[in-house]
Structure 1
Amino acid sequence: MSKAEPEITVPHPRETTALFGHHDAEQTLLGAYSGGRIPHAWLISGPQGIGKATLAYRMARFVLAHRDPASTQVQSAETLDLDPEHSVVHQVAAEAHGGLLEIHRTANDKGVLRTVITVDDVRETVGFYGSTAAVDGWRVCIVDTVDELNTNAANALLKVLEEPPLRSLFLLVTHAQARVLPTIQSRCRKLPLRALAAADVLSAAALATGRDESDPELREVADASEGSVSRAVNLLGGGALKLHQRTASLLNTLPHVDPRELHALGDALGTSDRVALAAFTDSVDRWIGERLRADEGGLNANLPRLARLAEVWEKIGKAARETESYNLERKPLVFSVFSLLAEATR
């Protein structure tokens, strides 16, 4: 049984005011808002853990703080940055701003986090945008992530996007644009984000964890993170980094699998080590995400394989969330993941 690594708690994107990298994407949002013709919905896409939600909350705070795009503050702004002591910053961090609606997975009546975003969560937008007593001016809705919407929830969101209320702004976050309904995509301005440079990962991870950028372990995980801050943080602790490398090595042998190696990997995950489980699922997410992004563009896209991988990714994501939520045995998850991926890649 593996020894559990201590968990590292990092601030939620709603509490994070700093943004590393993504200067061009930030300027796109700022330019659209200051120009007075901002699209009502944006689909912010890219690999997991690179700052998509951080950018979304940064934009939301700016709009809620500066309700008039023609104001001097907006027209002279060079970034979406706000003073950390601004009242909107504190209200958003405390989930107490009446002009912001956050749609994400919620807990069920037993206090367990659901594996998907439900239609009831999305239906909150009806009351939110229909309210006149909340906050004058803009109302902003962040969906983090669209990938986790179940079918009914996705269709409910589509209906709202089809007839957007006045002065409404939707910021939809996705780790894989290919998994988003084409009808939702068609109603959004697409804003793709790239993986971060290692130096940006290092700075962001240092700020999130309170470590110094000269920390050798932090530098090692930043180099191994492939542009993802969340991956770097998940890999902190030598055991997690080694498990990530071990999982990546086995994934690269697909569609062939060695049962003995899978047994060993399941043992390495332990029974209740959340850090190890995060490293495993992150490695799988990255592997599938890379293949989806490679296939989703270009004239030679392998559409059948793309569809199979997208379907398998959804199944794996749900199984991984259930394993974490209910603290289930890890080894069955390992065998299930590799079985699904082997079938999808044959």
Structure 2
Amino acid sequence: MAKAPIIEEVPEFDEVDGLPLPREQTRLYGHELAETELLDAYRSQRFHHAWILGGPKGIGKATLAFRFARFILEHPDRFSTPVMAANSLYVPPESHSAQMVAAGSHADLLHLRRPWDLKGKRFKRDLPVDEVRRTTGFFGSTAAGGNWRICIVDSADDMNQSAANALLKILEEPPKQSLFILLSHNPGRLLPTIRSRCRKLTMRKLEEPMIEHALTEMGCGPSGNTEALHTLADGSLRQAALAANGGALDIAQEFTGLVETITNLDMIRAHGFADKIAARGAEDAWNTFFRACAHILEQSTA
């Protein structure tokens, strides 16, 4: 009897231990004004078909994007009583729309991100044009009940030139009842023609008390050196979770120790550290290294 083929489990892009995936997250931390702006826009007479949610990485842009998508899919009539009476974009997690979004299986929601390279065992370096072209079939079919179709581009910064041009083409002639939500860590670097076709919503870094509150609620609250944690986090809940889990703090402390002994550097230790942050799949360690560098430079010039 032939053995069943082994199906390789594909990791979730940008997954962080201790944090729910953005599509699963039912709480929004610290972005009430941004949430209100989206809600008011949705129930207004002129709702824009494309939005850029801009701000530093890890502050909650994807969480807000999925929260907005979940609300629209649950309440497709923009002028219904529940929408007009709502004071947030909250949707109960037991609702059908919320469950489908959390599972990543809602037929009317397309989430574009850097794909997994099965051969290289890593995520591709950019978001290629083939991913963006998936929108053709997605918007070409009829939405369930004739309702909204929503595409989240996560993140638009990752698109290569061909992908950006393909997205621009569909933004220029958007399908009926379509919504595009582009996440960007640096909106100023997007194509000007893409920016001009989107309404921009800028999201800010989280305050330290809000980060501690969020981590505590999610069961990975800070312990020990909270000052170092917030230095590394720099307003990012994602980076704070990495630090709270120990790995990021260890990286930063190891690098700081190397800098402090720079005049009598242990080359074996230094090479070991370099191998650690340059290893395949060590993007978070690499980002932590740069944050630590920035902090040391700030201290030296203060």
TM-score, normalised to structure 1, is 0.71
Match of 2:286 among 271, 277, 280: 280
Q: What's the offset of the Cα at 1:242?
A: 4.7
| Kept after mapping to 1: 8 A contact 2:252/2:292 | no
2:272 & 2:91 partners in 1: Cα distance?
47
Q: How does 1:165-184 map to 2 (within 5 A)?
A: 165-184=175-194
Q: How does 1:229-268 map to 2 (within 5 A)?
A: 229-238=237-246, 240-244=248-252, 265-268=270-273
1:240 & 1:24 partners in 2: Cα distance?
30
Q: Partner of 1:103 in structure 2?
A: 112
Q: How does 1:123-162 map to 2 (within 5 A)?
A: 123-132=133-142, 134-162=144-172
| Kept after mapping to 2: 8 A contact 1:231/1:279 | no
| Kept after mapping to 2: 8 A contact 1:47/1:286 | no
| Kept after mapping to 2: 8 A contact 1:44/1:52 | yes
Determine if the alignment matches structure 1 residue 118 to structure 2 residue 124.
no
User: Judging changes above 3 Å, is the alpha-carbon distance between structure 1 residues 243 and 180 closer, same or farther for their aligned structure 2 residues?
Assistant: same
Question: Which runs of 5 or more structure 1 residues have no equivalent in the other structure?
Answer: 1-6, 252-256, 289-346
2:167 & 2:91 partners in 1: Cα distance?
29
User: Judging changes above 3 Å, is the alpha-carbon distance between structure 1 residues 58 and 270 closer, same or farther for their aligned structure 2 residues?
Assistant: same
Which sits farther off after the overlay, 35-44 or 220-229? 220-229
Q: What's the offset of the Cα at 1:243?
A: 2.6
2:59 & 2:147 partners in 1: Cα distance?
30
SS at 2:174 equivalent: coil
Match of 2:174 among 152, 160, 164: 164
The letter for the 1-side match of 2:47 is I
The number of equivalent residue pairs is 274
Q: What's the offset of the Cα at 1:103?
A: 0.4
| Kept after mapping to 2: 8 A contact 1:26/1:80 | yes
**Could you tell me the percent identity over the aligned residues?**
42
Q: What's the offset of the Cα at 1:204?
A: 2.1
Which sits farther off after the overlay, 266-275 or 44-53? 266-275
| Kept after mapping to 1: 8 A contact 2:43/2:79 | yes
1:105 & 1:157 partners in 2: Cα distance?
15
Q: What's the offset of the Cα at 1:244?
A: 2.9
Q: How does 1:187-336 map to 2 (within 5 A)?
A: 187-208=197-218, 210-211=219-220, 213=221, 215-217=222-224, 219-220=226-227, 222-224=229-231, 225-238=233-246, 240-244=248-252, 265-268=270-273, 270-271=275-276, 278-284=284-290
Structure showing the higher helix proportion among its residues:
1
1:249 & 1:180 partners in 2: Cα distance?
38
2:250 & 2:81 partners in 1: Cα distance?
52
SS at 1:14 equivalent: coil
